[in-house]
Every structure is written in structure tokens, then in C-alpha cells.
Amino acid sequence: MASEFIVTGTDDNFAAEVEKHDGVAMVDFWAVWCGPCLAVAPAVEEIAEEYKGRLKVVKVNVDENPNVAAKFGIRGIPTLLFFKKGEVVRQVVGAQPKKRLVKTVDEVL
């Protein structure tokens, strides 16, 4: 993970980082072996930098953190969940162009 604006989400810290977060968070569920996940990663990093201070960006490796993935019923990756005050308000499944992700971010904010 190249961006200093991205938090690594884990089974242990997810509640504190996302569910108890008072603002808006975008959580990227991904895996190292997932081509579409790697394709969408640069857009996620750019969004993290462009929206710093307004949007918390968290990446969760589903292989290393199966409990969080199971809790939210993640079946396909990449899946991006958008949280507002700890509640899921939007979901985007599959690799999407940055433009579509930015539109979703703006709608949630």
C-alpha cells in the first residue's frame, strides 16, 4: 500500500477504525491474487489523497481478515463498502472506473 492516507483494516481494528468512525469511510475489500483488485488500487489511492480529511479510506485483505469479510457478506472482490457513522450506506462490487467511484464518494459525502 503506497498511500499514507490509507488505513489497513484488520479483524482486530475494524470496529475502531470504521464502525466507530464518526465520518464517512470507504472500505476496499481485496486480495493480492485478485487482478481486478489490483486494477482498482491506483484509483482508491488517488481518492484517498484527493479526499483526505473528508473521507477515511480503509483496505481490508480478505485472506488475512476473514471475519470482517464474512461479517459483511463479501462474496466477490473487489467490493467497496461506504460507511457513514459506522453504517453501510452504499456498496460497489467489481472493478469500476475512478469516475464512478468518485461519483459514489460525492453522493455519500
Please give the order of strands across the beta sheet that includes 79-84: 6-9, 55-61, 24-30, 79-84, 87-93
Strand ranges in 1-109 using DSSP code E only, listed in sequence order: 6-9, 24-30, 55-61, 79-84, 87-93
Q: Which of 37, 48, 77, 80 is catalytic?
A: 37
Q: Per the structure block, which three cell numbers stand in for 16?
A: 475502531
Q: Is 34 a catalytic residue?
A: yes
Compute the distance between CA of residue 45 and CA of residue 71 in angstroms, rounded to an integer: 25
Q: Is 92 a catalytic residue?
A: no
Q: Which of 6, 24, 25, 34 is catalytic?
A: 34
- Give catalytic residues, as residue numbers: 34, 37
